[in-house]
Amino acid sequence: MGSTTRIYNRWHGYTLADCRCEYCVNFSGRDKPCPLEVCCCEEERREAYLREYGTPPDEGATPCRE
């Protein structure tokens, strides 16, 4: 890349909308419970919550099933 190359739309991380259960690889369907004991996207959800609201989420503020 040269000195005049501009990169648009840089990655800023996931949003809360990106972290919905429907997009999870373990999602079985709306009427079926999640097979996982702990959400595999929990860390990404917390980071997205912090980025969007500016404060750390309370415990249970980013539930696995929305």
Q: What does the pLDDT read at residue 62? A: 58
Domain-embedded: residue 2 = no
Whether the model pTM is above 0.75? no
Domain tally for the chain? 1
CA distances from 64 to 3, 7, 26, 44 (A): 44, 34, 12, 12
Domain-embedded: residue 4 = no
Domain-embedded: residue 15 = yes
Q: What does the pLDDT read at residue 25? A: 87
Domain-embedded: residue 31 = yes
Q: Could you read off the pLDDT tens digit of each residue along the chain, which spans 66 residues?
A: 678 888 888 888 899 899 888 888 888 888 887 888 888 888 888 899 899 888 887 776 656 654
Domain that holds residue 22: 10-66
Q: What does the pLDDT read at residue 61? A: 62
How far is it, in rounded angstroms, from Cα 43 to Cα 31?
25
Q: What does the pLDDT read at residue 31? A: 85
